[in-house]
Each structure stands twice: as structure tokens, then as C-alpha cells.
Structure 1
Amino acid sequence: MYKSGPLIPVCLEFLRKNQPSALFAQNLPDREFLRLQRFISGLRITTKTSAQGGRASTPRVIKRLTRPSAKKEEFTLREGGKMTVAAYFQKALNKPLQFPDMGCAEVGSGAKIPLELCEVPPGQIMRKQIPPEKTKDVLDFATKKPRERLESIRTGLEVLAYGQSEYVRQFGMNVNTTNPLRVQARVLKPPTLRYGASSKQPTIVPNNGAWNMIDKKFYKPVQPIQRWALIIFESSSKFPLQTVEDLTKGLIDGCREVGISLATTKVLKYFNGQGRVRDLLRSAGAEWISKAQKPPELFVVVLPEGGNEIYTEVKHFGDIEMGIPTQCLKSIKCSKAKPQYWANISLKINVKLGGINTIPDPSSVSVLTDPHMPTVVMGADVIHPAPGSEGRPSFTSLVGNVDSDTAKYVADSRVQTSRQEMIADLDEMAKQILSLYMRYRQAVEKKPVDWSNNLDGVSEGQFKQVLEQELPLLRKACIELQIDAKITVIVVGKRHHVRFFPQSERDADKSGNCPAGTVVDREIGHPLEFDFYLQSHGGLLGTSRPAHYSVLHDDNNFTADSLQSLSFALCHVYARSTRSVSIPAPVYYADIVCSRAKNHFDPNEQWDLTGSEEASVAGSNVVVTGATESLDRFQRGFKPLHNSQRILMYFS
């Protein structure tokens, strides 16, 4: 919830500042101004003035912040003429404002109120994304070990008292609130993972969803990286040269351990994060061009605390504008980092530049690696705007493998009508993925493509609509590419309330959860449809949530065992980690690609729609118009990936 009380301390705490002067218009950089505006837009405030006898006004909703200060922001008087906001409130309050250099809060009616007069009423839920620095606090508060979670569920059932409900008794129903349902479960055998042939240990079998990179080289390390730039958005006092040298050594050593050769020479630049980030990156790239007549192959960027806006600009520059892979590091984490940290960073760098970290051994996923049956696994996702975000569109993504080992993926992302669940451009997106697959298979793997057999698609959405709307689009894409495909469609869901608890400690992993690979497909499954629950990841914090797999369509006649093993294997090829993840990697990637859609818009333009739609005011209600025009604007502004990034895992 938003903290109640005066608005100024709430703003200062969000920006991590102590002095009110930090909110003065001349001291607030554009990037910080936009962050603050996004944070408090939609917040209800009251005001207290002497004209109201000290009583709080009716709550009003902040629409936006004014960039000019109260002493510069003017409005037109009813009787004619103009007056500044500061002068108006000095007259109304019979005393000058304490902070006339601060901006004002513009509320829904169009009135502009100095920040120092705004009060935040208690009990307001923050209905938008939690600031990243608060996420850990929420997780610490919300996580409960499995046994604690089970007890809280039992307590909750006692409070709900289903057995005392008149309606339940009238229908002759009985709710057992004493014991959880006991079900039969199996633990699947994990796939064997294959690393580079030069590794001391080229294959490994994960233990409870985890393994390590000791004595292992990547399956396909990227070519030697000769030209790279280290960009630091911190002052040299906060990030001194000795820390830079430690970072460089740690990164080079970490890459060498896994088979990547990273040159010791680099371009080093310190920049102020308040400048135009892309111009700064471009100047660093120009230095390599003047040295080697070629652009850098990699930007390594050190971000300050709260550097999310810089991150967005860096990614837009790398993925959209220049097509140069970027790897961002948080300053607080990379200074004095241990080898494990650099090993994790190397996982990302390798796939961003075209390498492959690990593959499931072909014997573990024979259905995917049969050379006579080329197979593409696709993951699809749709992300909708937050409640109340009128005019903002939905974003869609489709991710699919291009290699024969289902480890290297490409992605496509689009903009569509707000809150539309089905993917409108699925046929065009699928055609692009399939075309890239054929090109990679022929040009890189030197394998023929005979599409007479098999295509496996993994999609997500509403069951009936998937079959009626999305499946025909997939078929259309295949027909246009002359592919005779057998399609399997699976919905992978995690938004449910099913939890599994091991019956005894010897059945549990170290976290008290069921072990990775636990599958349940009987007592709690659908009585008629093909579905199952798979808990594919080892527990870390709290109570693990299994994924629910619903098979909507299956031309391939998979058995339950083969489909469960296939799904479990795909949870082990997520390139960012050496752990199995909770959903198959292509579905996970699709979710990431959707959430990164904001990087496709020019960060120097105002794309946050809070308060930017055309609105007509009727009393205290704001009616938003122009939703179609807003969608058109978003679609026009959505920049495609740079050509060089289309075939790389830029989203890792």
C-alpha cells in the first residue's frame, strides 16, 4: 500500500532522497520525473487549506505531475488574465508556499495542486508493478515453508466453516476439512544434459533439478570476443578503477572457464546516467570503429541502483537500434562478485552472441531429436495492461527453437488490441519462426528439411478459443510454407491454487517440497480430458507451485509418459540458469519477451499512457476516448528487432 500522510515524504522515499530540494523542478532530471509520475499517477489525495477550515477535501486522483514549478505553472482565471499556481495559493492560504520550486499534482478535474498541500489517505492498494527494490520484502513476507503453508490452509478451512453452511447441507454435500487429499505421484527421471566435448565432465544428470558448471565447457561457445566496451553509469568515486579491474578480471576468468575467449583490451567509459544514454553508447561504439573499423561485439553496462530507465534505453539501443548484444550488471552485485556470479553472467552472454550452453542428450528426448521427424517447439504468451490502464494495448510473443536440439530459440513480438486473449498475428509470427528454423537447419546444421512428419506447438490461452482461432492460424502458416504438420497444442497454467505436500520428510527435498519431476495425473485430473500436474523445479523459498498441463489437441498421439518426459526435459534447457525451471523453457521465454515489449518503443518519447489519452470531463468522472487511435499509435511506434538480433537469444 501507499504510505499515508504528506505526499512529499512519499515521493522522497520512492526516489531514495532525503532533502525536499531533490523534488525542485530544476533538480529533478527528466528520467526521475517520469519515474515519479508513474509511481503516483492514479493515487488519491486530499488537501487541507484554511479556506476549508482545516477539513480535508474530497479525495481526488492524481492524473500527472506538472514539469514547471508552482511559481512558473500558470492558469487562466475565470474573470480573465493569468496567475501562477504559487500566487493563487498564497492568496488562498494568506501565506506563501514553503516549496514554490516544486511541481504540482494535476488531478482528474484539471486542477493543479502544489505537492506540499497534498495528503495521502490511508489504505490505498498499489495497483501497479511493485518497485523492484520492494519485491524482496514482499517475498520475504509472503513465503511459507510447505508445512507452515499446509497448517495455514487447515486453519483457513476452519474459519470458512463449510460444514456449517446451510446451502452446503441443503445440497447434501460434505466438505472434508480435516485432511488434505492423498494422491498417487511419480517422480520422473531427469534428462541427461550434454556439454562441450572438451569438458572434463561432458554429460551430467541433474539432482533434484540442479547441477553445476564445474569442469564443464559450453556445448557451443561463441567465437572469441575481440571488441567489447565496458560502460559504467556510476561516478568513479562510487565505482573506482580498482573495482573496474576486479570486474574485468572476474568476467574474463568466468568466460574462460566455460570456453569463451574474451579479449583483455576494451573501451572503458564512465557516464552520467542523466544524459542521453543512446548517444553515450554510440560514442563508445565509435571508438571501436575508429580503432578497428568495426563496431563492438558486446556492450557490458554497469547500472546504478534504481537504473531501470537506463536499462530500457540500453536494451532499445542494443536490440532495436544498433543490433549489438548488451549485458547489464547491477553495480552493487558486480563489485567484489564471486566466481559463481561471473559463471551466471557467462550463461547469458554466450546465448546472446549465438552460442548454445547445453542440450538435452538426444537419448533423453528422442521424440524431439529424431532426424527423420524435424520438430519445432513453440511457446506463446499474451500480456495485458494493468487494471485501469485504459488505452494501453496488449503485447504478444511467440518463441520457437531453430536447432535440432531444442536449445536455441528465436522470438517474435507484436502489439494488439487491449485485453484480447487470442494472438491475432499468430500465422505471420509462426511463419517467421518456421522460416528461421528451416534456414538454420540448412545453413548451420547442414541438414535437409523434410516436413512430411511433425510439428509440435506449445501455446497458451483460453481452451475453446485456442482450438477455434489459434490452431487454424498455425495450420495456415504451415500450409503457406508447404509444411504437412502434425500439431500438438498444450496450455501450461500456473495461476491455480493446487499445492503438493510430501507425506513425510524422506519424500521431500531440502526445502520441504516435493522433489523436481513430481507428476500427478490421476485423482485431481480432469475426468475426460488429457491433463496432468508437473512440479519440475526443486524448491528454494516457500511452497512450490506445480504447472498444470492441458493437452487441447494432439495429432501426434503422444502417450502420457512421453509428453510428461518431453515437458520435463524442456524445463532443463532454460539458458539463464543451471536449474530446471517451473515451466518449459519456450513458454518461459515467451513470457520474458512479452514483458520486454516496452523496449521496442523509443525511450525518448512519452509512451506511458497515464494521463496522456484524450479525455472529456463530466463532473468528477473522467471518460477516456480514442482507444483505437491509441492502439494505432502504439503499433506505429513499436520498433522491430534489428536484423542481427532476430536470430539471437537477445531476451536471455
Structure 2
Amino acid sequence: MELPRVPTNAILQQANLPKRSIMDRTGFGTSGRPISLLANHFNVSIGCPDEIFYQYSVSIRSEDSTVVDNKGIGRKIAEKLCQTYASEFAGKRFAYDGEKCLYTVGPLPRNKLELTVILDESIAKQRPSESGKRSKHSVRSKTFIVEISYAAKIPLKSVHHALQGAEAEKLQDSLRVLDIILRQKAANKGCLLVRQSFFHDDTRTFSDVGGGVTAVKGFYSSFRPTHGGLSLNMDVSSTMILKPGPVVDFLLANQNLKDRRNIDWEKAKRMLKNLRVKARHNNREFKVIGLSEKPCNQQFFSLKVKNGGDARDDGETLEITVFDYFVKHRGLELTFSSYMPCLDVGKPKRPNYLPLELCSLVSLQRYKKALSGMQRASLVEQSRQKPPERIRVVTDAVRNYNYDDDPLLVSCGISIEKQLTQVDGRVLDAPKLKVGNGEDFFPRNGRWNFNNKKLFNPCQIDCWSLVNFSARCDTSHLSRELINCGRNKGIHMERPYTIIEEDPQCSRASPFIRVERMFEQIMAKLPGPPEFLLCVLPERRNSAIYGPWKKKCLTNLGIVTQCTCPSKINDQYLTNLLLKINSKLGGTNSLLALEHSRSLPLISDNPTLIIGMDVSHGSPGQSDVPSIAAVVGSCSWPLISRYRAAVRTQSPKVEMIESLYKPLANGEDDGIMRELLLDFYQTSNKRKPSQIIIFRDGVSESQFSQVLNIELDQIVKAYQHLGEVDVPKFTVIVAQKRHHTQLFQASAPENVPPGTVVDTKVVHPRNYDFYMCAQAGMMGTSRPAHYHVLLNEIGFSPDELQNLLHSLSYVYQRSTTAISIVAPICYAHLAAQQIGQFLKFEDSSETSSGQKSMSITGGVPVPQLPRLHSSVSGSMFFC
């Protein structure tokens, strides 16, 4: 499809695209067999819906006019306000968010208040007595000025209007106030607050995941308007904290050491900075600002010691080591601190040194860095809860927290039921699949296998090679078994042209060098580029070889490759490997029977492009790592099982995809959608899509309108840039997995069956959304996908749409199970993840051609990804 010159009328259409609104629900589904379910929503009744919340702005400053923004101090001040100024608040209780907002039910007597709060802080005197021991604790007071001024009214009635299906202006504000009341109750009990979750300092909820990191279980709680009324959504939650206890034990665990003498102190300094510790000798808490330059027995400081009892005598100043001071003057026993640096818990210009041996990490300090593969696996293993246990834990929490007793909720007449909400669900029939030799079969319980079956469209592999970076793998056995298994599945594989083992001398070189040396051997031993390379990696997870290897194969040479690191070679493992290989080489493992017979409602009769969109961000704490935007599009209409991907970098942490449409100075479009539209045209018998179904992952409800009015606008402009005047019809669906609604069978202890759909009671009162659990939950509790239909110009009925999404969970070519979310989104996630490895393991000598692209949002230059080689760009390389 040649890129035509853009007509003037298309340019005019691009300039003024209409603003779109999120659609309302058009109906409910009816297909499938009924099933009685429970949801972790607790019905809420509002006895006084006419009450009004009054919002007040809060400003806190110390005596020297320094603004106080610490949430912990803010909450202490708010508590003191409540105790000291009851008359100024007319006896009203208030909800405080810990920052700048305070809420009351009804108004305060005055719109503006300026109040003084004195906090008593228990401290130890810094000057030692003659004996060298510190004197008893004394009390130091600190004064704060609190300004409170009226800001707004928030009527509780907005919740009532929203539940009736109206669009209420202050709905989110009202729900926010109610959620702040819940969080304040948790904060008053000393919980760690993480957004809408809270965590107790209770070792029974702690689970060690390795590396000095502990998982702590808590609860998520939030008020939500639903089709069945206002509800309290309560769920089990978890977060990561640093393992509390002796600092030295933490460092050993963090650095995976057994001997204290092997601690990397530079690494320890970075890890400990800004953490809170408690000193054993005086039971005080301190904040760590760094480590001493010298060991404890060599780090001197000045100590004033009085002579006799004369108060007028300033005494003499001694130079003493920290070690000697604590041993001789404080009478403490230190067994291993002498050779270690001290913790500096003072000010930048006034150090205050403490031996590590005396210090323990305070509990409930969040760990915000990315978890390793081992830590993630441990977390998943320890977080699993079967449905009955999860039901018990959540219902016990609602009963134990006694939210009904909160004075603010009581004044609004709010009461909360203590039982899970009963919900009517439906179980959709699994779609019929087609495999090789024209065979049809129905998956059972969301699963199937290829035992004694052929793949629907198996590929033929004539020239391939096996390369081995692992000294542990028997490559001859692997290739022989792979060929035999492939023959059983219909894949004809010749013997590998050659098997190339890595030179042992290269194993200590950098990943980039190891890959280059391997390719030198490949080029020397093969007569030409192979169709396919099977690469055995040295590690199963996070292998440093993976990124450079994939980049070399996919961008420089255009060779399809499959990486593996087999621990056990059996038929199931080899079958799973062949499913990926067959998909990458253009084969098809299975098809929907409806897809094969061209009888998919509304899709088979009209050229329909299905796209999945996802953005992958850097790990927590990596604010300078570019985000990766990946979009996959279906190929070969009327099929909906084959996809290709287009990937771009964009500004760090930006969620909206910037490169869907990317006009250049020469008038051409270098955007993602142009690639996908042209590929659809070339693989679909020169048909242009008249319908486009968009699946978007990773956005929150506050970003829905941006999906409709920023990303969709770019897609329309990309389509118009190809010279098209008639814009396709769109259906736009957002998929969410990170939500807190769980579904349980009402009469059985097992997970809900695959195909379970809920579109009543716990869904939004007005917007078009539903929950679907397509997968079979084998371990733990299944989490349903939450789908939000933002636009439906194509006109799918609820049953047609729900059955389509259910079917799209069965076309994931690398699996023989229904997956938890539609395949296009999973493919987009895989593509972003794989291409992201190009940047993660980029050799320092190799930048992406030194090119930078300019972000359309922030003007921040980000490195461009190298484009995929034309030989593989249209393949399912990500599978």
C-alpha cells in the first residue's frame, strides 16, 4: 500500500476532531448458565444523605515559619488540635488527610482559624554528666502555628444521585472524604498507610522474601458506588518493607552474606540512607544520614567532661573514639563494632555517631525498589490464599474494625453490613477450537493439550542451528527430543545444521562481547542466515545475555530466535517450546472454530482490525529510564489469532502513548499506527479496516477520557494521513487487572469456573463495565479482569461483546489454557517487555545510533529504539 499525498479535506478533518465522552451502559448480558456468587463488597446504607461535608484548607508551620509537610507530624498536630480546641471546633470531630485538607460534617463556627499547638518531644540531654552517662530524658516542646480556612462544600447527596445513575459533580470528592475517614482510623492505630491500604505492625502478617525484604499483609478498603448501591470494597493487600531488627542482620540479608567482615559498606551506605533506626541504649529513634568515614574504634569526637561538682567549671575536652565512649563511659558491651563504620544520625554539619551493634531498623519502613525474580516468586508463593481463607480474612476484618463506630460515619448515618454481597453471575461456554487435520474440540475447565493432536498450521524448519551459552545443557539430547516432539505435533524439523558451544574462555566476558563472539562462530560455520536459532541461556531468569542476543537477532540480522534454559526436558516442556517457535515462524497452533468458519458476529463480515496497547515503565526508583509503548495489531483478517507489534520509546513514566501518529518534517508519518494499518492492508487481501477494536491496558479511571481524546485522536489522524476520508467505527475497551474486586462461588470452596461473567450489582451504576474470569484458577484465588467499554460505535450487544472477549482469551498462541485477559493485551505486554531488554542490557559502547527523539509532552529527549529488521518485523517475535 503506497503512502499517498494527504488531501486537503483530510487535513482539515484532522484539525478539529470532536471531543468524545465515556458511554453509558446499554444493557446486560444474558448468555451462559447462571451461577450464584459472592463478592468482597459490603453493602453500605446512608441514613442521613442530606448531610454536607465542609472542606477546610490546612497550613502548618513551625515558629521559624518553616512549612511542615510531614504526614506523621501533621497527624499528631491534628490529634492535639482535637484535644485542645474542642470549643473552636464546636465539639465536632474531623477527618484529616495528613496534608492540606480537613473535613467536618456541617460547618465550623468560624470560616478561618489560627491556632497554636505545642507538641512535647521526649529527648535525651546531649551533654554527658561527669560519669559519662547521659542524664534522664527531659521534655522539649515545639510550637506550631495551624491555619484552617474554609474551602468548599461537598454534599453527601452526590453519592445518592450517582447511585441513581445521574452524573454527580462532587461524587469523587464525597467518596474521597469517606475514604479519608477510613484511613484516619487506621492511622490512629499506628498502621502504615499506602494509598488506600493499611498495614499493622504485627509479625504474624510478616513473610520474609529474601534480600532483607519482608512482605507484610494488610487490607485495602474503599467506598465504591455500584449498580447495587454504595459498597465498601475490602480486600487483602500486601506491601514490601525492610526487615525490622538489628541493622547488621539486615545488611547481611540484603547483601546475601554470612560473614559481617564481607559487608560492602558503599552499598550499605546507599541502602541505609534516610532509614529510621532505634538505639538500644536509650530507646530513641533516629534518621540515618550516612556512615562514618572511619571504623568505630578509629572515629574520634570531642567529649566535654566536668571536673568535680563545680557547675561553673566548663571542664576539659577529651578526644575519644566512639567505641571507647560507649564501652568506657556508657558501660555497654560491644562485641563486633570496632572494625565497622558507625551510623551517622546527626545533621550534615553536626555528626552524631552510633555503633551499628546498638541499632535496629524500625518496623514498617517501605521498600520501594523493584523485586528480584526470586523475591517475586517467594512473594507469590506466600501470598496465595484459597477462596475460603480469603473470605474469612476479609469478613473478619470488616467485623473487627468496627467502622460503624466512627463518629463521623455515625453522624452521617452510615452503616456497613458484615456479610459479603451476593451476586448473580453467568458462566459462558468455552469456544470450540480447531487444531490440525480439521479436528474440533472443546477445552475443558479452560484448558486443553496437544496430546495425540497436530498443530493447526505447523511450519517447516529446514535450516536452523542451536547455540549454547550454558555449560550444563546436553544440547544433542535437547535437539533430538525437540525434533521428535515436533514431528508428533506436525512440525517438520531437519537436524540442526550445527550445534555451537560457547568457548569457555568467553564466559567471563561482558554479555555484549559474548554475543558478538557467538555470532562470529555462527557466520563462520553456517552457509548463510538460518531460518531459526535456538539459544540456550546460562540462567533461567534475568539472564544478561538475553537483551544483547535478542537485539542482535531481531534488529541487525532479522533472524527468528527462541531462548530457553531447560531444567527438565519432557514432552510438556518441549510442546510449550514448539508452540512459541511455530508462532514466531508464521505457523498457527489453534484457531477458534468461529474464526475459521468466518462466523464471528460483526467481525467476519466487515474488515476489522483488533489492537492491544500497553506501556511498560522502568522499575520503581528509575525515573530516567524511558517508558516502552507497544501496540499489537491483528493480521490476515478475518483471522483474529495472528498479530504483529510496533514498539517505541517515550518519556519516562508517561502513560499516554505518544507515537501512535508521528508526522515528520517531510510530511510522512513515522507513527505506530501507520505500520499496523499498512500491514493489515497487505495481509488482508488489500482490504482497509472499516472497524477497529482497541484494547487498552494499564490506565486508571481518571485517564479514560485521555484514551478517548488523545490516543484515539492520534489513531484517527494516522488513518486520515493515509488518504482516507471515511473514518472507521471504533470500539474502545480498557482492561484492568489491578483492582480489588474478588468473586467467590456461593456454594463451593473452589475458584469460580472459567468463563464467569458479572455485569450487575458490583459494577458501576452508570458506566458500561463488567468483570470476567476467563482462566481456570489452579492456585490461590482467581482475580477477574475488569473491562470498561468506553466507546462502542461498532454496536456489539452485551452478549456479543462478552463472548468476543471470552474467545480472545483462548487465542493466546503460546499457551494451552485460557488466559486471564484478552490475548492482544498480553501480546502488547510481551512486546514491550522484550524490546525493553534492548535498553536494559545496552552495552555502554553501543547507544541506539546516538539518536534521540523528542517527547511530545515534556520535550524531554529519549533514546530511540533500533527498528526491527524487515525479515522479522511482521512476525510474532514476541510470542
Q: Give runs of aligned pairs for residues 131-530 of structure 1, distance below 5 A.
A: 131-177=372-418, 179-197=419-437, 202-234=439-471, 239=472, 243-265=474-496, 266-270=498-502, 271=504, 273-296=507-530, 297-304=532-539, 307-330=542-565, 334-362=566-594, 366-367=599-600, 370-404=603-637, 405-427=639-661, 428-441=671-684, 447-451=685-689, 453-460=690-697, 461=699, 462-481=703-722, 482=724, 484-505=727-748, 512-530=750-768
Compare the two structures and name the one with the higher helix fraction: 1
Q: Which amino acid letter does the alignment assign opposite residue 290 of structure 1?
A: A
**AA matched with 1:314:** W
- CA displacement at 1:449 relative to structure 2: 0.9
Q: How many residues align?
A: 569
What residue is the counterpart of 2:148 in the other structure?
none
1:524 is aligned with what amino acid? V
Closer, same or farther: CA 144–254 of 1 in aligned 2, 3 Å: same
Code of the aligned partner of 1:346:
L
Q: Structure 1 CA distance, aligned partners of 2:428 and 2:623? A: 45
- C-alpha deviations, 1:309-367, integer Å up to 9, x for none? 2333333333334333332223xxx2442211111111112222232222212268833
User: Considering only CA atoms, is the larger Rg found in Structure 1 or Structure 2?
Assistant: 2
Match of 2:878 in 1: 651
Cα distance in 1 for partners of 2:270, 2:856 equals 26
Return the letter of the residue paired with 1:580: A
Q: Which amino acid in structure 2 is aligned with residue 493 of structure 1? A: Q
Partner letter of residue 378 of structure 1? I
Structure 1 counterpart of 2:658, which letter?
Answer: A
> Could you say which residue in structure 2 is the equivalent of 1:596?
834
1:59 and 2:292 are equivalent in the alignment:
no
Structure 1 residue 126 displacement after superposition: 2.3
The Cα shift of 1:8 comes to: 8.3
Distance 2:688 2:540 in 1: 51
Helix, strand or coil at the partner of 1:641: coil
1:632 Cα deviation (Å)? 7.7
Residues 26-65 of structure 1 aligned to structure 2 (within 5 Å): 44=274, 58-60=287-289
Output the CA distance in 1 between the equivalents of 2:799 and 2:370.
39
* SS of corresponding position for 1:576: coil
Deviation at 1:3, TM superposition (A): 4.3
**8 Å CA contact 1:303, 1:329 repeated in 2:** no
Contact 1:298 1:325 in 2 (8 A): yes
Note closer, same or farther for the CA distance 1:393–1:450 as it changes in structure 2 (3 Å cut): closer
Q: Distance in 2 between matches of 1:292 and 1:133?
A: 38
Is residue 761 of structure 2 the alignment partner of residue 544 of structure 1?
no
Residue 592 (structure 1) shift: 2.5
Q: Give the partner amino acid of 2:569.
A: A
**1:519 and 1:533 in contact (8 A); partners too:** yes
Give the direction of change, closer, same or farther, for the CA distance of 1:360–1:40 in structure 2 (3 Å limit).
farther
SS at match of 1:251: helix
Q: Deviations over 1:270-295 (max 9, x none)?
A: 35543133433343334343344213
TM-score by length of 2: 0.58
Task: Confirm whether residue 639 of structure 1 aligns to residue 866 of structure 2.
Answer: yes
User: Cα gap change, 1:122/1:207 in structure 2, threshold over 3 Å: closer, same or farther?
Assistant: same
TM-aligned CA distance change 1:418 to 1:450, over 3 Å: closer
1:56-95 aligned at under 5 Å gives the runs 58-60=287-289
* Cα distance between partner residues in 1 of 2:495 and 2:348: 59
The answer on whether the counterparts of 1:327 and 1:349 sit within 8 Å (CA) in structure 2 is yes
Q: Distance in 1 between matches of 2:644 and 2:244?
A: 46
Distance apart, 1:220 and its partner CA: 2.1
1:130 aligned onto 2:362: no
Q: Which of 581, 592, 602 does residue 819 from structure 2 map onto?
A: 581
Distance change (3 Å), C-alpha of 1:501 and 1:307? closer
Going from structure 1 to structure 2, the CA distance change for 1:5 and 1:168 (only over 3 Å counts) comes to: closer
Give deviations 1:602-625, integer Å, cap 9, x for gaps. 724469xxxxxxxxxxxxxxxxxx
Contact 1:316 1:602 in 2 (8 A): no
Q: Tell me the residue number matched to 2:851.
A: none
CA distance in 2, matches of 1:185, 1:418: 40
Cα separation, partners in 2 of 1:402 and 1:14, compared to 1, 3 Å:
farther
Look up the equivalent residue of 1:256 and give its one-letter code.
R
Change (3 A) 1:425 1:214: same
Name the CA distance, whole Å, in 1 between partners of 2:259 and 2:478: 33
Of stretches 388-397 and 534-543 in structure 1, the one that deviates more from structure 2 is 388-397
Distance 1:637 1:558, change over 3 A: closer
Q: CA contact under 8 A between 1:502 and 1:513: conserved in structure 2?
A: yes
Secondary structure class of the residue paired with 2:729: coil
Distance 1:162 1:501 in 2: 24
Query: Given that residues 393 and 631 in structure 1 are in contact (C-alpha distance below 8 angstroms), is that contact kept between their aligned partners in structure 2?
Result: no
Q: Tell me: CA distance 1:249–1:484, structure 2 relative to 1, closer, same or farther (3 Å).
A: same
The CA deviation at 1:59 is: 1.0
**AA at the equivalent of 2:572:** Q
User: For each residue in 1:458-487, what CA deviation from the matched residue of structure 2 results, as whole angstroms up to 9, or x when unmatched?
Assistant: 224321112221221121122223264111
> Which has more strand, going by share of residues?
2
Q: CA deviation at 1:376?
A: 1.2
Give 1:152 shift.
0.8
Q: Return the alpha-carbon distance in structure 1 between the equivalents of residues 422 and 259 of structure 2.
A: 58
Q: Distance in 1 between matches of 2:452 and 2:499?
A: 31
How far apart are 1:133 and its partner, in Å?
A: 1.3
DSSP 3-state at the match of 1:595: helix
Stretch of structure 1 that moved more, 158-167 or 361-370: 361-370
- State the alpha-carbon separation in 2 of the partners of residues 135 and 310 from structure 1: 21
Counterpart amino acid of 1:250? E
Residue identity (%) = 27
Q: Answer yes or no: is the 8 Å Cα contact 2:475–2:499 preserved in 1.
A: no
CA distance in 1 between partners of 2:348 and 2:833 (Å): 32
Secondary structure (helix, strand or coil) at the match of 1:426 reads: coil
Paired residues of 1:395 and 1:594 also in contact (CA < 8 A): yes
Structure 2 residue runs without a partner (length 5+): 1-212, 214-241, 301-320, 324-336, 350-354, 662-670, 846-853
Deviation of the 1:563 alpha carbon: 0.2
* Alpha carbons 2:507, 2:514 under 8 Å: kept: no
Structure 2 letter corresponding to 1:648 = S
Please give the alpha-carbon distance, in whole angstroms, between the structure 1 residues aligned to 2:264 and 2:612: 47
Distance 1:375 1:645 in 2: 23
CA distance in 1 between partners of 2:434 and 2:802 (Å): 20
